[in-house]
Structure 1
């Protein structure tokens, strides 16, 4: 909907794309500590307030009379959502039996993939009439989610009595930071390369935006239909091993996308990348949720680093791609294959 958004405010589609950055920068930055704050304030209360804040911010997007005010409202959306994502995962970790955590995270990943896959389509349909309908729609959904809420959070009662500095230090322990580094590498070097896949399709095969969109959607569709299966396999093969398998498969996918000679082969490889992403992310989330203390804070840090890795991906790899297209794919593949195993901590027994 960027062209329609830009036309509404009298700016170019490129300038309108600042609305994406305006959302994700505060989203990732605030998420670094939002989980620790949410566990201290009460997980359920914080999530409901986060949804309520998202409703207000979404309505501000609808009503914003100028583009700078629209960007400010988008930033508020990012801040509000930063107080829901890590705490939802924390609540899931508290509710799921330890030996079925991977399966529960697979369900979570499947529903996330469904949202990520359908959102561009629904947003595009709304923009055909008026882009404001898309933001009004998410405001209605956020209001409904606030009413539904999440399960009670008695397991985090002790966190509310801890000093905030202690809670933040617990979330920033070396083990959590290493898991977060693996998440950042995995997201930035696999899913975060979708922009570069689109560049190769345009420059190497001269296909239009519609075809490029279909190829990129293949990863989301594959992730949607395999996330539950992946979650069950994580319970069987182990969390760390799942991350390593996902990173290794992802490296092969990225090399394939950069070297395969036909469009259908690249589409198939990118679909396999959706499965590899689920293996990596479900494994990472299961690792960090294995902690019995300050789950929300730890998940918050890992998710912040994950999205930070995705945000850095275009800055890091676009110049490399333009200098040597094949190297633009081989370098992130090497990081997946070599750096992820190097930074990922050993899995604790029990």
Structure 2
């Protein structure tokens, strides 16, 4: 369930852009910062959050950050203006920066290496479930009152704070190192992740905008379209884990990047809401494949600092996801096809960098 919360909180606002525009009397570009405000501090703090969490102890750190998430969600629910809303969203992102890497680091230590890919696949399936449920909940809230969606995150995050993972603070003599995170191999994986996330992995934002603005569907129907990609990712997550265990990280990562780039580019051919949902269903499975590979790479590159390495690599991912709307929403307002093809083209950078590792 810990894997559920991060994507759920990030994606919940995607179907409610028109309602947020009306409530806060703001433009689409201004409202899209509700997504970016969550992801940018999340991404930047991920550079060190895993290492800090390992030092402070997983149990104490995860419990505290879930409670911070709860408070930030309350502020989102009662925000009187866009500024307060964006500040609260940023604190949600700060809290989540500690949760994902510490949960996966704990998983890596209790699972045999030859089965780790499959377990990451299952974990990624729950992340996909969170990503899929978020637009459904957000879409239903958009059709009634969008603030209700954030009261839901209050309840879920508080409940999860009651069940943190095990892990006590480390002694000073056993503190995990930071310097190895900046070696070339790790930086290449990080840059490959950044390109994928700013491009084809982050295209769900463009799908949401296109559903509402280009194909004129309701908030709940836009949520259903986004759910299609998440369902595909959820169902295929364990399969991608088995592929990773069988073929290894290098071959699997290159294949994932190639398939991701190709399937996302097909979304540009959508000419109605049904076609958009169908193509997003196909592309969503490839987003899941890429996610499984990147998280497995992060959790296994430096065994002495699993949480720190994973959070470092994930920081590049969520920096990319946060930058994506800034880059592509102005483009999609001019050309739906141009935005999708431009985003998918960044996947070629990912293919190149992973082939060098």
Within 2, Cα distance between the matches of 1:68 and 1:316? 21
Within 1, Cα distance between the matches of 2:86 and 2:63? 24
List runs of 5+ in structure 1 lacking aligned partners.
none
Deviation at residue 262 of structure 1 after TM alignment: 7.5
* Contact 1:109–1:224 under 8 Å retained in 2: yes
- 1:159-198 aligned at under 5 Å gives the runs 160-161=172-173, 167-197=177-207
Deviation at residue 282 of structure 1 after TM alignment: 0.8
Within 1, Cα distance between the matches of 2:286 and 2:155? 33
Indicate whether 1:309 and 2:320 are aligned. Answer: yes
Within 2, Cα distance between the matches of 1:141 and 1:216? 21
* Contact 1:240–1:287 under 8 Å retained in 2: no
* Contact 1:289–1:299 under 8 Å retained in 2: yes
* Contact 1:23–1:75 under 8 Å retained in 2: yes
* Contact 1:222–1:274 under 8 Å retained in 2: yes
List runs of 5+ in structure 2 lacking aligned partners.
1-15
Deviation at residue 153 of structure 1 after TM alignment: 2.9
The residue number in structure 2 matching 1:300 is 311
Alignment partner for residue 101 of structure 1, among 109, 116, 119? Answer: 116
Provide the TM-score with structure 2 as the length reference: 0.82
Superposition RMSD in Å: 3.1
- Name the CA shift for 1:208/1:147 in 2 (closer, same or farther; >3 Å): same
SS of structure 2 residue aligned to 1:191 = helix
- Name the CA shift for 1:302/1:127 in 2 (closer, same or farther; >3 Å): same
Indicate whether 1:125 and 2:140 are aligned. Answer: yes
SS of structure 1 residue aligned to 2:101 = helix
- Name the CA shift for 1:334/1:63 in 2 (closer, same or farther; >3 Å): closer
Indicate whether 1:255 and 2:279 are aligned. Answer: no
The residue number in structure 2 matching 1:208 is 216
* Contact 2:254–2:355 under 8 Å retained in 1: no
Within 2, Cα distance between the matches of 1:317 and 1:48? 36
The residue number in structure 2 matching 1:230 is 240
- Name the CA shift for 1:120/1:13 in 2 (closer, same or farther; >3 Å): farther
Within 2, Cα distance between the matches of 1:266 and 1:257? 6
- Name the CA shift for 1:171/1:45 in 2 (closer, same or farther; >3 Å): farther
Within 2, Cα distance between the matches of 1:52 and 1:141? 11
Deviation at residue 6 of structure 1 after TM alignment: 5.3
The residue number in structure 2 matching 1:37 is 52
Within 2, Cα distance between the matches of 1:162 and 1:222? 41
- 1:1-350 aligned at under 5 Å gives the runs 1-5=16-20, 10-12=24-26, 14=28, 15-126=30-141, 128-150=143-165, 152-153=166-167, 157=170, 160-161=172-173, 167-197=177-207, 207-210=215-218, 213-259=223-269, 267-290=277-300, 291-317=302-328, 328-337=339-348, 339-344=349-354
Q: Which moved more, 1:27-36 or 1:54-63?
A: 54-63
**If you compute each CA radius of gyration, which structure gives the higher value, 1 or 2?**
1
Within 1, Cα distance between the matches of 2:284 and 2:336? 22
Report the count of equivalent residues.
Answer: 338
Deviation at residue 16 of structure 1 after TM alignment: 4.2
* Contact 2:63–2:164 under 8 Å retained in 1: yes
Within 2, Cα distance between the matches of 1:267 and 1:90? 34
SS of structure 1 residue aligned to 2:203 = helix
Within 2, Cα distance between the matches of 1:149 and 1:128? 34
Q: Which moved more, 1:62-71 or 1:112-121?
A: 62-71
CA deviation map 1:280-332 (0-9, x unaligned)? 11111111211312111111111110011122234444566678766654454
* Contact 2:135–2:226 under 8 Å retained in 1: no
- Name the CA shift for 1:242/1:64 in 2 (closer, same or farther; >3 Å): same
SS of structure 2 residue aligned to 1:148 = coil
Q: Which moved more, 1:244-253 or 1:70-79?
A: 70-79
- Name the CA shift for 1:267/1:334 in 2 (closer, same or farther; >3 Å): same
* Contact 1:106–1:231 under 8 Å retained in 2: yes
